[in-house]
Amino acid sequence: MDFTVAQIAKMIDHSILRPEFTAEDVRKGCAIAAKYEVASVCVRPCDVPLAVQLLRASSVEVGTVIGFPHGDTHTAIKVAETELAIYQGATEIDMVLNVGWLRSGHIDAVEREIVAVIEAAKGAPVKVILENAYLTNEQKLAACWAAERAGAAFVKSSTGFAPTGATIDDLALMRSAVSAKVRVKASGGVRSLDQLVAMAAVGVTRFGSSATEAILEDLARRTRIELAHLRAA
C-alpha cells in the first residue's frame, strides 16, 4: 500500500449527517475524527457549535452542509445557512446545487447561486454537490464547469441520500471536467479502503465517509502485515 494511515486520514471528511443522530452520536463521531486527525468532520448545521467545541484542540476542520440533502431551498436561505455556519465556526462548506435548475438547463441560475454561497463563505472552501444519481453526463459536465467558473474549491459527487452514490466513472468524468485548481470529492457509499484507493487513482483527493475508522484500521492492519513480511524476508 502506497499510502500511510496519516495520509489517508487527511483525505477524509468524517460524515456525521444521519438525521436520527443524537448529541452523543455527534460526540462519538468527533472523537473518531480527532483520534485519527482526519481532514474534517461534516456535520448537520445544528451540530456546528458542538463540533467546533469538541474539535477545538485538534487539527480537524469543521464542515457542514447547505441546502441538504435536496438542494432546492431558496438561494437566500442557502446564503443565510452559510453565513450562520461560518459565524458559528464552520471552516468548510458542502452545498447542494439546485438539481431541478440544472436539469432544466438553467445553468446561469445554478452558477449565480454557487457564487452567492461562496461569497457568504468568506474564504472558506466550498464543495459543490452535484448529486450525480439524477444527472446525465452532459449535466454533470455542465455542473462542474459552472462550479469552477463560480470559484468552488471542490466538486462533489453525491449527498449519500440519493439512490446511488459515488462511482469511478462519474469521478473520472468530474476530474476531467475541471482544472487542477478544483479538487474532486467522492461521497456516497465510500465504505472500504479498496474503494477509496481506486477512487484516488482517478484523481479524487477528498472522501466523505462514515466508515472512517474501519477504513483506517484496515490500512493499519495491512501495513503491519507488510512490515512483518519485510522483516521476515
Q: What is the mean pLDDT of the chain?
A: 97
**Count of domains forming the chain:** 1
3-state secondary structure of 63: strand
Burial class (CB in 10 A: 0-12, 13-18, 19+), 157: buried
| Closest C-alpha among 147, 91, 155 to residue 129 | 155
Kindly report, residue by residue over 22-61, the tens digit of the pLDDT: 999 999 999 999 999 999 999 999 999 999 999 999 999 9
Residue numbers of the chain with a pLDDT score lower than 50: none
Residue 16, pLDDT score: 98
- 189, 168 contact by CB (below 8 A): no
CA distance 174 to 167: 11
Give CA angle at 91 (210, 120), nearest 5°.
120
3-state secondary structure of 66: strand
Choice among 13, 47, 78, 94 that is catalytic? 94
Choice among 47, 127, 185, 218 that is catalytic? 185
Active site residue 94: yes
Residue 1, pLDDT score: 63
Residue 146 CB partners (closer than 8 Å, separation 6+) = 97, 107, 110, 111, 114
CA distance to 109, 119, 227, per residue, from 43 (Å): 27, 21, 36
| Closest C-alpha among 189, 186, 159, 191 to residue 175 | 186
| Closest C-alpha among 96, 75, 95 to residue 86 | 95
Residue 147 belongs to domain spanning:
5-232
| Closest C-alpha among 67, 56, 3, 4 to residue 34 | 56
- Which residue type occupies 180? A
CA distance 29 to 60: 12
Residue 2, pLDDT score: 83
- 164: domain CATH number is 3.20.20.70
- 180, 205 contact by CB (below 8 A): no
Residue 132, pLDDT score: 98
Give CA angle at 111 (164, 102), nearest 5°.
40
* 8-state DSSP, 166: -
Choice among 78, 140, 156, 218 that is catalytic? 156
Active site residue 181: no
